[in-house]
Structure 1
Amino acid sequence: MPRRTPRNVLFDKLRTPRKRTGFLKAASVCVLIAGLLSPLTRAAAAESATASNDYCGGQCSDILPPGENGNATLAQILLNQAFGTQPSHAEDQLGPYANLATGYSGLTDAKINTFFNDASFGVPSDQVASTEKPAGRTDVTIVRDKKAGVPHITGTTRYGTEFGAGYAAAEDRLWLMDVFRHVGRGQLTTFAGGAAANQGLEQEFYRNAPYTEADLQAQIDNAVAGNGARGQQALADANAYLDGINSYIDASGSGRYFPGEYVLTGHKDAITNAGTIDHFKVTDLVALASVIGSLFGSGGGGEVNNALSLIAAQSKYGVEQGTKVWESFRERNDAEAALTVHDGESFPYASKPDAPKGEALPDAGSVTQEPLVYDRTGSAATASAKTTSTAAAKTTLSSARRGMSNALVVSGKYTAGGHPIAVFGPQTGYFAPQLLMLQEIQGPGISARGASFAGLSMYVELGRGQDYSWSATTSGQDIIDTYAVELCQDDYHYLYRGTCTAMDKVEQKNAWKPTTADGTAAGSYTMRVWRTKYGPVEYRASVGGKKVAYTTLRSSYLHEADSIIGFQMLNDPGYVKGPKDFQSAAQHINYTFNWFYADSQHTAYYNSGDNPVRAQGVDAEFPLWAQPAYEWQNWDPATNTADYTPASAHPNSVDQDYYISWNNKQAKDYTTASWGDGSVHRGNLLEDRVKKLVAAGGVTRTKLVQAMADAALADLRAEDVLPKLLKVINSSPVTDSTAADAVSKLQAWITAGAKRTETSAGSKTYANADAIRILDAWWPQLVKAEFEPGLGSDLYTAFTGNLPVDEAPSAGHGPTGSHAGSSFQYGWWSYVDKDIRAVLGESVQGGLAQQYCGGGSLSACRDILISTLKQAAGLTAAQVYPGDDLCSAGDQWCADSINQRTLGGIKHGKISWQNRPTFQQVVEYTSHR
Structure 2
Amino acid sequence: MRRVVGVAVLVFALAGVAAAPAPAAVAPYGTDDAGGFRNILPPGEAGTDNAIQLAAFRANNQRPAHWMDQQPLYENLLYASPALTHDQVAAYYKDATFGVRPEDVETTETPRPGLTIIRDKQYGVPHVYGDSRADVMFGAGYAGAEDRLFLMDVLRHTGRAELSSFAGGAKGNREMDRVQWALAPYTEADLQRQIDQAPVLGGAEGAQLVQDVTNYVAGINAYIAKARLDPTKMPGEYAAFGKQPEDWKVTDVIAEASLIGGIFGKGGGNELRSALLLEALQKRFGDKRGRRVWSDFRLKNDPEAPSTIRRKRFPYETTPSFAPRGLALPDPGSVTFLTPGGALAGEPSGSARTATPLRLPIPDDGSIGSQLLRQFVGEPPHASNWELVSARESTTGHAIGVLGPQVGYFVPQILMEEDLHGPGIDARGATFPGVNLYVQLGHGRDYAWSATTATSDNVDTFAEVLCQDDTHYLYRGECRAMDELDVTNSWKPNVSDQTPPGSETLSVYRTVHGIVFARGKVGGKDVAFVTARTTYFHEADSALGFLRLNDPNFVKDPQSFRRAIDGINFAFNWSYIDADHIAYQLSGAYPYRSPHTSSDFPILGTGEYDWQGFDPDRYLMSTVPLDKRPHAVDPPYLVSWNNKQAPGWAAADDKFSYGPVFRSRMIEQRVRQAIKGPRKMALEQLVQAMEEPATQDIRAFALTRPLLRALGHPSSPTLRAEIDHLRAWAASGGHRRDLDKDGRYDDDQAVTLMDAWWPRMLDAIYQPVLGDEAFKDLKDMLGFGGPPVGEAATDYPGFSDGWWSYVNKDLRDMFNHRKPLGRLSRGYCGNGSRQACRLLLRRTLLDALTDSHAKLYGYGDCQSDPQARCFDQDRFTTASAVGVPNFPFQNRPTFQQTVELTQRLPR
Question: Common fold, TM-score beyond 0.5?
Answer: yes
Q: Does the alignment pair 1:161 with 2:143?
A: no
Q: Is the 8 A contact 1:887 1:894 kept in 2?
A: no
Give the distance between the partners of 1:764 and 1:357, measured in 2 at CA. 59
Q: Which deviations, in whole Å up to 9, do the C-alpha atoms of 1:746-765 show, x marking residues without a partner?
A: 1121122110110414x331
Provide the C-alpha distance between the structure 2 equivalents of 1:471 and 1:881, rounded to a whole number of angstroms.
Answer: 35
Work out the CA distance in 2 between the residues paired with 1:74 and 1:769: 43
Task: Please state how far the C-alpha of 1:871 moved relative to its aligned partner.
Answer: 0.8
Code of the residue aligned with 2:684 in structure 1: it is T
1:385-437 Cα deviation digits (max 9, x unpaired):
95669987533434773422111111111000011111111000011111110
| Alignment partner of 1:741 is 2:721 | yes
SS at match of 1:217: helix
Alignment of structure 1 residues 845-864 onto 2, 5 Å: 845-864=821-840
1:401 alignment partner, SS class: coil
> Residue 91 of structure 1 corresponds to which residue in structure 2?
68
User: CA 1:447–1:115 in 2, change beyond 3 Å: closer, same or farther?
Assistant: same
Report if aligned partners of 1:133, 1:142 keep a CA contact under 8 Å in 2. Answer: yes
The alignment status of 1:701 with 2:683, answered yes or no, reads yes
Q: Which residue of 2 aligns with 1:891?
A: 867
Match of 1:914 among 890, 898, 901: 890
Q: Tell me what 1:15 maps to.
A: none
Give the whole-Å Cα distance in 2 for the aligned partners of 1:533 and 1:107.
55
Aligned to 1:408, the other structure's residue is in SS state strand
1:201-235 alpha-carbon deviations (Å, 9 max, x no partner): 22111111110000000011112222121111111
Match of 1:397, SS state, is helix
CA distance change for structure 1 residues 387 and 526 in 2, over 3 Å: closer, same or farther? Answer: farther
Superposition deviation, residue 379 in structure 1: 4.5
Question: Is 2:131 the counterpart of 1:131?
Answer: no
CA distance in 2, matches of 1:95, 1:850: 50
Shift of 1:668: 0.6
Counterpart CA distance in 1 for 2:789 and 2:415 is 26
Does the aligned pair in 2 maintain the 1:340–1:666 contact within 8 Å?
A: yes
Q: Which amino acid aligns with 1:678?
A: G
With over 3 angstroms needed to count, the CA separation of the structure-2 counterparts of 1:331 and 1:391, relative to structure 1, is farther
Match of 2:474 in 1: 495
Q: 1:606 offset after TM fit, Å? A: 0.5
* Amino-acid identity (%): 40
Q: What secondary structure sits across from 2:383 in the alignment?
A: coil
Q: Normalising by structure 2, what TM-score?
A: 0.93
Change in CA separation of 1:381 and 1:526 when aligned onto 2, cut-off 3 Å: closer
Which of 239, 244, 266 is 2:242 aligned to?
A: 266
Task: Flag the 1:577–1:530 CA change in 2: closer, same or farther, 3 A.
Answer: same
- Residues 100-499 of structure 1: matches in 2 within 5 Å? 100-134=77-111, 137-257=112-232, 258-267=234-243, 276-349=244-317, 351-352=319-320, 355-372=323-340, 378-379=347-348, 386=361, 394-398=373-377, 401-499=380-478
Amino acid at match of 1:249: I
Equivalent of 1:751 in 731, 735, 738: 731
Question: Would the alpha carbon gap of residues 349 and 409 (structure 1) be closer, same or farther in structure 2, given more than 3 Å must change?
Answer: farther
- Alignment match, 1:23: none
* Secondary structure, aligned partner of 1:348: coil
The amino acid of 2:95's aligned partner reads D
Deviation digits for residues 293-343 of structure 1 (CA, Å, limit 9, x no counterpart): 011001111111110011111111111111111111101000000000113
Match of 2:357 in 1: none
In the alignment, which of 818, 822, 825 is matched to residue 800 of structure 2? 825
The within-5 A match list for 1:34-53 is 50-51=28-29, 53=31
Counterpart of 1:6?
none
- 2:812 maps to 837
Question: How many angstroms apart in 2 are the aligned matches of 1:722 and 1:375?
Answer: 46
Correspondence for 1:74: 51
1:48 to partner: Cα distance: 8.0
3-state SS of paired residue (1:585): helix
Q: Give CA deviations for 1:719-756 in whole Å, capped at 9, x if unaligned.
A: 101221011112xx322232222112111211221101
Is the CA contact (8 Å cut-off) linking 1:408 and 1:423 kept in structure 2? yes
Tell me the alpha carbon deviations over residues 261-312 of structure 1, each in whole angstroms, 9 at most, x when there is no partner.
1111111xxxxxxxx4211111011001001101100111111111001111
Given the superposition, is the C-alpha separation of residues 81 and 923 from structure 1 closer, same or farther in structure 2, using an over 3 Å criterion? same
Moved more, 364-373 or 604-613: 364-373
* Residue 56, structure 1, aligned to residue 38, structure 2: no
Name the CA shift for 1:350/1:777 in 2 (closer, same or farther; >3 Å): same
Q: Which moved more, 1:846-855 or 1:284-293?
A: 846-855
Distance (Å, rounded) in 1 between the aligned partners of 2:246 and 2:350 = 30
5 Å-filtered alignment, 1:561-640, equals 561-640=540-619
- State the Cα distance separating 1:820 from its structure 2 match: 2.7
Mapped contact 1:332–1:675 kept (Cα < 8 A): yes
Deviation (angstroms), 1:519: 4.0
Q: Which amino acid aligns with 1:793?
A: D
Give the secondary-structure state (helix, strand or coil) at the position aligned to 2:841. helix
Which residue is equivalent to 1:769?
A: 748
Q: In 2 relative to 1, CA 316–687 (structure 1 residues): closer, same or farther, beyond 3 Å?
A: same
Q: Report the counterpart of residue 871 of structure 1 in structure 2.
A: 847
Moved more, 227-236 or 344-353: 344-353
Deviations 1:148-182 (A, max 9, x none): 11001111111111111111101001111111111
1:836 touches 1:853 (CA, 8 Å); kept in 2? Answer: yes
State the superposition RMSD in angstroms.
2.5
| Count of paired positions | 876
Whole-Å separation in 1 of the counterparts to 2:230 and 2:370: 40
CA separation of 1:735 and 1:397: change in aligned 2, threshold 3 A: same
How many angstroms does 1:91 deviate by?
0.9
Partner of 2:662: 681
Rounded Cα–Cα distance in structure 2 between residues aligned with 1:150 and 1:525: 41
Question: In the superposition, relative to structure 1, how do residues 321 and 124 fare at CA in structure 2: closer, same or farther (>3 Å)?
Answer: same
Amino acid at match of 1:538: F
Q: Does the CA contact (< 8 Å) of 2:163 and 2:173 recur in 1?
A: yes
User: Which residue in the other structure is 1:904 paired with?
Assistant: 880
Residue 372 of structure 1 and its aligned partner are, at CA, apart by 4.8
Unaligned runs of 5+ in 1: 1-32, 268-275
* Counterparts of 1:885 and 1:350, CA distance in 2: 48
Flag the 1:196–1:50 CA change in 2: closer, same or farther, 3 A: farther
Q: Secondary structure at the match of 1:580?
A: helix
When structure 1 is superposed on structure 2, of 879-888 and 577-586 the one drifting more is: 879-888
Q: Shift of residue 848 of structure 1? A: 1.7
What is the SS of the residue equivalent to 1:491? strand
Question: Kindly tell me: are residues 902 and 835 of structure 1, through their superposed partners in 2, closer, same or farther at Cα, counting changes over 3 Å?
Answer: same
Tell me how far 1:53 sits from its aligned partner: 3.9
1:13-32 paired onto structure 2 within 5 Å? none
Q: TM-score, normalised by structure 1?
A: 0.91
Contact preservation (8 Å) 1:373, 1:526:
no
| Partner Cα separation in structure 2 for residue 152 and residue 656 of structure 1 | 35
Task: Identify the residue that residue 523 of structure 2 maps to in structure 1.
Answer: 544
Flag the 1:518–1:211 CA change in 2: closer, same or farther, 3 A. closer
- Secondary structure, aligned partner of 1:618: coil
Letter in 2 for 1:764: G
Q: Please give the alpha-carbon distance, in whole angstroms, between the structure 1 residues aligned to 2:7 and 2:852.
A: 52
Q: Which amino acid aligns with 2:689?
A: A
Which segment is superposed worse, 124-133 or 208-217?
124-133
